[in-house]
Amino acid sequence: MAGELGAKAMAMIADLARHTDEPGRLTRLYLSPAHQACAEATAGLMRNAGLAVSMDPLGTVVGRREGPAPGAKTLLVGSHIDSVVNAGIYDGPLGVVCGILAADVLRGEELPFALEVLAFGDEENVRFPTSLASSSALAGDFKPEWLDGEDADGVTLREALLAFGGDPERIGEISRDPAGTLGYLEVHIEQGPVLEAKDLSVGVVTAINGATRSRCTVTGMAGHAGTVPMGMRADALAAAAEMVSLVEAAGAKARDAVATVGVLEVSPGALNVIPAEARFTLDIRAPDDAVRAALVEEIVSGCAAIAARRGVGFAEARFMDQAATAMDESLIRALETGAGRAGYDAIRLPSGAGHDAVATARLCPSAMLFVRCEGGISHNPAEAITAADAEAAVRTLVEAIRAIARG
């Protein structure tokens, strides 16, 4: 049943969805003007919930409620406000909005810890070759070389961060003291079909699949499409096409794994020029790290063999190697208790998608609450949830925080 909290959540998410870099569809990449505007709007929502707001050197918006006494531990609640290209509006913002609404509900109640709501800016890692950069910084895992990574226009993360108002020199200040951090909770759409199939509003995540991501370059030789005989070509695109088929076949064969080429760019990109270069991305995931490592090896060596046979170059630049990450049992139980007290059944289920909780789990106990989404669709403007399920998420989160407070 949709109540006031569900309606508020849907309105807040719709409000944040207005901030896009591409009119007519939602694209909000890390450190873009739309990210800046969305961060400011998120700060306003946090202030309305009674939180003291700041922005950290990487652009994460932090809303903080102080603990009962100096030195009290901090419970972190959050998710991300960056998006993929032509995104849905719930992937990320749902978790930030649920955290803000929970803080608002709990405003008058004593808590034995401080509470922070975080809106991370680089979870999707679509713009720069990074790996959960903004949440990794909390765990002290920000890699300095990420600052030199470039986007499609050749802008470095450092340049974009300075233009955003961030501070590359103060990133070290973001890392948190594990001893002072109670844990991290993240509410997120399931991005899969399980909860809908079981007719459940919410579920609790057991573990998050491991992921490997790379940018690959195939180097051939430009030539005249009308004069170079087929057997004398170094066609970068034809080679890449064979590699893409290899990726799909290997992913389909491996146990519980997925392998995707999401981006393929060709240059010079003229119909009568034999392609000189093809650039594509690899995204390879599995719940079992050994299965993923073997699949990565099979794909990369397979691409190299295709390149050798065709007389083209092949280079793989890996920028993510995230191990599979188990969620914290005691926080899993707190979320289950929360769901029960809020009046919802919940199951445990794994996450095929990556999340900021992978990074925070290197800092503190972390756990995630999944929310049913229509058809399991995500990374697609058709992404949808109901106000009733948003209500279930906020109420479950509030009760889970109360359960943690009761110890």
Contacts to Mn ion by CB under 5 A? 91-92
Which residue, 8 or 28, has its beta carbon nearer to ligand HGY?
Answer: 28
CA distance 386 to 60: 27
Q: CB of 248: closest distance to ligand HGY in angstroms?
A: 18
Which residue, 205 or 218, has its beta carbon nearer to Mn ion?
Answer: 205
Which residue, 355 or 402, has its beta carbon nearer to Mn ion?
Answer: 355
Which residue, 338 or 354, has its beta carbon nearer to ligand HGY?
Answer: 354
Q: CB of 356: closest distance to ligand HGY in angstroms?
A: 9
Q: Pick from 228, 218, 232: which is nearest to 277 by CA? A: 218
| Cβ pair 209, 355 in contact under 8 A | no
Candidates 45, 250, 276, 353: give the one binding ligand HGY (CB under 6 A): 353
From the list Mn ion, ligand HGY, none, pick the one residue 354 interacts with, judged by a Cβ distance below 5 to 8 Å according to partner type: ligand HGY
Q: CB of 113: closest distance to ligand HGY in angstroms?
A: 28
Question: 13-20 long-range contacts, Cβ below 8 Å, gap at least 24?
Answer: 13/89, 13/90, 13/93, 13/94, 13/97, 13/390, 14/89, 15/41, 15/45, 16/41, 16/42, 16/45, 16/81, 16/89, 16/93, 16/96, 16/97, 17/89, 17/93
Candidates 124, 186, 389, 399: give the one binding ligand HGY (CB under 6 A): 124
CA distance 196 to 381: 18
Q: Pick from 165, 153, 183, 157: which is nearest to 60 by CA? A: 165
Q: CB of 120: closest distance to ligand HGY in angstroms?
A: 11
- The C-alpha torsion from 377 through 374 and 196 to 358, rounded to 10°, is 50
Q: CB of 79: closest distance to Mn ion in angstroms?
A: 7
Task: Please give the residue whose beta carbon sits closest to Mn ion in the complex.
Answer: 91
Which residue, 116 or 123, has its beta carbon nearer to ligand HGY?
Answer: 123
Q: State the residues that interact with ligand HGY by CB under 6 A.
A: 123-124, 353-354
